[in-house]
Chain A
Amino acid sequence: MTLAWIALLPFLGALAPALTIRLGRNACALATGLVTATALVLLLSLAPQVMAGEVVTTRIAWFPTLGLNLNFFLDALGLMFAGMILGIGLLVIIYARFYLNKTDPMGRFFAFLLLFQGAMVGIVLSDNILLLLIFWELTSLSSFLLIGYWRHLPEGRQGARMALTITGMGGLSLIGGLLILGQIAGSYDLSVILQSGEAIQASPLYLPALLLILGGCFTKSAQFPFHFWLPHAMAAPTPVSAYLHSATMVKAGVFLLARLWPALSGTEAWFYLVGGVGLFTMVFAAVVALFKDDLKGLLAYSTISHLGMLTFLFGLGTPAAAVAGVFHIINHATFKAALFMNAGIVDHEAGTRDLRKLGGLYTLMPIAATLAVLAGAAMAGIPPLNGFISKEMMLEEAVQASAFGLPWLIPVMVMVGILFSAAYAFRYVVGVYFGPKRESYPSKPHDAPFGMWAPSALLVILAVAIGLAPALVAGPLVNAVAAAVTGGAAGEKHLALWHGFNLPLAMSLGAVIGGAILLSLHRPAARIWTALGLPDAKTLFDRTVAAGAGAARKTTELVHNGSLQRYLAMILGAAILAAAGGFLSAPHVEGLRPTLAAPGAAIVAWLLLMGGTAAVVLGHRQRYLALIFISVIGLVVSLGFVYLSAPDLALTQISVEVVTILLLLLALNLMPKTSPVESSRARRTRDGVLASLGGLGMAGATWALLRRDGPPSISEFHWANSYSGGGGTNVVNVILVDFRGFDTFGEIIVLGIAALTIFALLETADRGASGQRLANWMPDQRRSPERHPMMLVVATRLLLPLASVVGLYIFLRGHNEPGGGFIAGLVVSIALLMQYMASGYAWSNRRLPTDHHALIGFGVTVAALTGVVAMMLGAPFLKSAYEYVSIPLIGDVGLSSALAFDIGVAFTVVGAVMLALHHLSGVAGRAEKLPPSDLPMDVDPSRAPAVGPTPPAGGAGA
């Protein structure tokens, strides 16, 4: 459990600075420090066990089926890293307390820092590689926040984004690699994976896994060619650079190499990939570092170079090299963090980090200078400092290594690397502190406050101590870690400052001397370097990203060009493809169902249909004419339903048809009456082809269905139970209101919502652009002055009651004969519509002031309540009941609960239709400049002659 707490403590603790910042900066820093210290103490409490060779584990199930669990383990490697993270973290917190300005939001800084710390600790303590992945990505995210901490700096933003992108990308690569690794090993637990080295290396998936994992490691550890984000990340506040970009985060990649060393190393691929990239990075970055004028830039490339060296060491694949690597991790952390803090002090005091503006600070900042000399010497690998020892160990391994059959290749490259390392280390120390004093520094430098230099001093002391007594100070730890990394293969290694005169010593000596010479030649060398004009990786990256985003935008906008027609063509095409693909990929046998001979009238109807369709398609630009033609199709379809034994369908089709036409006419009134020719011949051809394919498909499907009998339908049950169970003989209606009443329930809801939406759409039509357009609307056709023709009005007065009776009749008989609530509702609606058409909206509506909303609401509620009542009686929703009731004089009447349901349907229909009509004519009325007519008919000879205007509100009452 302790391990989980160590990992989680910084996360939970991230709240502490956020909460304590109100109490002041000291309190905030103290709280943060306490969190880290507590974690460190917890960690150290486990150290004895670990140093004794024990592996401490904590296992908490999280996603057990995935194999992602909160499994932590602590071995020496973890202990070393965790100690480093927490220890240096503590120092960085102290340092940051003094480094941060008063205006910098400290609470946020420390909160982010703790998040990062937690993520790092999590990485090194994870026993589960998926868990490790989580922490891995969290380091990317938290470092993003830290790098971008100073939001006003564009470099900070860009640096943060670049770091996130590159390391994030690496993280995703790592996900792939680790998942494969887990697959090969059969577990995501490191403890298992580390035991499965042989199986892993024998697997055909080894190479892809390795490549993907290295993608993660190399990006995180800034290996070439992914190194370029690191220098730009240095825009972050110095404590961040010191912590993330030298001591901890960038080492995560190296850590993982070390962690997975037993499982992955030892193969040729590993050697060339890891060793090669590491070595190249080491040399390349060292060269670049020498020519950086910015202190942090120099240190950044130096860090890259050292990370390259570490990678190279683990890449060599020998236990001894691994030991050297482990040892150098510690060493590098000490001197590099110290140097970063030092650079921060210089920046803080002198106001610049530019080497060209610095120099001669030795007298002004003696403490800083001393620390810099020592740390710089350690970096240059000068005895008796720790950097020297690990470098010697590295050289020892390097001279034995051979690549591509060339035994000199590696040593020579290494030699170049350490030579440049020495040179830039010298340049840092000499360039800042020695040489001539400048006339004016941007600000007046003097030694920093204690709190600011003390942390680096502590690190330098450590560097010296390790250098002087490596076996004592670092020996047990290094050996333990090496054992953990190599799985015991490294054996006990005695760390010593002095190894006697040997080739590595000579190389070291040569490098130091050569470095000094190189520094003296810096000016001409820098000129050559500038002249080389190596491409700037950041520019390349920015361009790539911008080009990517641009291409993405272009692609997106090219594909989604706003054309409904393209969208529909794609959708229809896809549907045709799916159906045709399905049809063609399975066997089909033509059915044997006999066909019905078509009588002449059927052929005539078919001709009508074809003619009507052709007329609409060819003449669709004349919108009004198209509406006339489309009626023909509705008529033929209705006739077809009549002929093919579907009376209910015919009735419904007939009545729906006309209401639809009326709505279309109402809308068309305010819309353009013609459609211009807009699509090219090619487009029309495309559409024609698509239409033909779709038509053929539909015809084929229909034909195929009609020619086979198919399995018995469930409707046999409906037929058999319609009367006995549903109380009706019109099986279609019984299905609608009983067997599948739930469908009908949904259907009327659809109708109701449609009306509501129509209402919502039209209610606002008189406002904004639409209102403007309505106000300026001019009829595009000549109009007859007569609004309400007399004969029509008279006829509809007679037709309304007649049609109402018909509607009632159709409603009542629906359960047993063709008819039902929907048709009845439509018939009544049509009768009313006729009235409105003849006598005008204003006049008619005053005579039928219904609340259409209420009609719809009532309809749906009645239908729902029919079902609920059944539930209250203990039966399922919509369970029907019917009873033949004897009413005096009238006789036996079949009363069915489904009738109540049908009433709901009818009301909803009438409400919906009338609501739509009401608002459509409202909109048209707004376009009209005429006052609404209060007269039911324009011409009425029986009317008294005009006696002068009266207000319209005075209205004609009945």
Chain B
Amino acid sequence: MIGIAVLFAISCVGLAMTMNLWRLARGPTTADRILALDTLTINAIALIVLMQIQQGSAVYFEAALLLAMVGFVGTVAYCKFLLRGDIVE
């Protein structure tokens, strides 16, 4: 049962990621692309979590944790670049 649910969820997240890709490619504004990337990262975290449940192994949590942290930093940096040019000032 969990197996099927995981598969379902993975399919959902996978589909979500393709939508993110579409938005990323499509834009039209830069902010859209940043948002799409940010969402993609969150979906990637979801994917990792699902992968762990599927494999019954908890080795990859740090990857998800780091992704959460790093995805945020990336988004902020991209935005800051749009706002100020200089991301550290």
A–B contact, 8 Å CB criterion (strictly below): yes
Give the residues in chain B near A624, CB-CB below 8 Å. 30, 81
The A-contacting residues of B in range 25-40, CB under 8 angstroms, are: 25, 30, 33-34, 37, 40
Asked if B66 contacts A827 (CB within 8 A), the reply is yes
* Bound-state Cα–Cα, A612 to B72, Å: 20
Annotate B54-89 by CB proximity to A: 1 below 8 A, 0 otherwise: 000001101101110110111011101111111111
A651 and B66 contact, Cβ closer than 8 Å, known pairs A607-B18, A632-B24, A661-B77: yes
The A-contacting residues of B in range 1-34, CB under 8 angstroms, are: 10-11, 13-15, 17-18, 21, 24-25, 30, 33-34
CB distance from B49 to the nearest CB of A (A): 11
Q: How many residues of A contact B (CB 8 A)?
A: 69
Asked if B73 contacts A830 (CB within 8 A), the reply is yes
Asked if A635 contacts B40 (CB within 8 A), the reply is yes
**What are the 10 closest A-B residue pairs judged by CB atoms, nearest first?**
A604-B14, A784-B83, A658-B70, A650-B63, A921-B88, A924-B86, A601-B14, A669-B85, A836-B88, A654-B66
* Bound-state Cα–Cα, A162 to B10, Å: 82
> Which B residues have a C-beta under 8 Å from some C-beta of A?
10-11, 13-15, 17-18, 21, 24-25, 30, 33-34, 37, 40-41, 44, 47-48, 51, 59-60, 62-63, 65-67, 69-70, 72-74, 76-78, 80-89
* Bound-state Cα–Cα, A502 to B51, Å: 116
Give the residues in chain B near A901, CB-CB below 8 Å. none
Give the residues in chain A near B89, CB-CB below 8 Å. 787, 840-841, 921, 924-925, 928, 932-933
* Bound-state Cα–Cα, A925 to B10, Å: 46
User: Does A367 touch B at the CB level, under 8 Å?
Assistant: no
User: Of A611, A658, A817, A921, which is within 8 A of B73 by CB?
Assistant: A658
20 A-B pairs (CB sep. < 8 Å)? A600-B14, A601-B14, A611-B24, A632-B37, A647-B60, A651-B63, A654-B63, A658-B73, A661-B74, A668-B81, A783-B84, A784-B83, A787-B84, A792-B76, A827-B66, A830-B73, A834-B76, A837-B77, A840-B88, A928-B86
Give the residues in chain A near B14, CB-CB below 8 Å. 600-601, 603-604
Give the residues in chain B near A638, CB-CB below 8 Å. 44, 63, 67
Give the residues in chain B near A604, CB-CB below 8 Å. 14-15, 17-18
A631 and B74 contact, Cβ closer than 8 Å, known pairs A601-B13, A611-B25, A665-B81: yes
* A668 nearest in chain B by CB position: B81
User: Of B25, B51, B69, which is within 8 A of A803 by CB?
Assistant: B69
Asked if A635 contacts B44 (CB within 8 A), the reply is yes
User: Does A506 touch B at the CB level, under 8 Å?
Assistant: no
* B81 nearest in chain A by CB position: A665
* A602 nearest in chain B by CB position: B14
CB distance from B9 to the nearest CB of A (A): 10
Asked if A639 contacts B48 (CB within 8 A), the reply is yes
Asked if B88 contacts A924 (CB within 8 A), the reply is yes
Asked if B33 contacts A643 (CB within 8 A), the reply is no
A806 and B48 contact, Cβ closer than 8 Å, known pairs A784-B84, A924-B89, A925-B89: no
* Bound-state Cα–Cα, A781 to B84, Å: 8
CB distance from A754 to the nearest CB of B (A): 19
Give the residues in chain B near A655, CB-CB below 8 Å. 66, 70
Annotate A735-749 by CB proximity to B: 1 below 8 A, 0 otherwise: 000000000000000
* Bound-state Cα–Cα, A635 to B48, Å: 12
User: Of A627, A639, A818, A837, which is within 8 A of B59 by CB?
Assistant: A818
Give the residues in chain B near A933, CB-CB below 8 Å. 89
* A673 nearest in chain B by CB position: B85
* Bound-state Cα–Cα, A635 to B73, Å: 14
* Bound-state Cα–Cα, A604 to B87, Å: 32
Give the residues in chain A near B48, CB-CB below 8 Å. 639, 642
CB distance from A271 to the nearest CB of B (A): 85
* A786 nearest in chain B by CB position: B83
A608 and B10 contact, Cβ closer than 8 Å, known pairs A669-B81, A784-B84, A806-B65: no
CB distance from B81 to the nearest CB of A (A): 5
Asked if A654 contacts B81 (CB within 8 A), the reply is no
A657 and B81 contact, Cβ closer than 8 Å, known pairs A607-B21, A662-B87, A787-B89: no
Annotate A609-627 by CB proximity to B: 1 below 8 A, 0 otherwise: 0011001000000001101
Annotate A913-933 by CB proximity to B: 1 below 8 A, 0 otherwise: 000010011001100100011
Interface centre among A605, A629, A654 (most CB of B within 10 A): A654
User: Of B21, B24, B66, B80, which is within 8 A of A837 by CB?
Assistant: B80
* Bound-state Cα–Cα, A650 to B65, Å: 11
Give the residues in chain B near A831, CB-CB below 8 Å. 69
Asked if B80 contacts A781 (CB within 8 A), the reply is no
Asked if A810 contacts B73 (CB within 8 A), the reply is no
CB distance from A881 to the nearest CB of B (A): 27
* Bound-state Cα–Cα, A792 to B77, Å: 11
User: Does A599 touch B at the CB level, under 8 Å?
Assistant: yes
User: Does A734 touch B at the CB level, under 8 Å?
Assistant: no
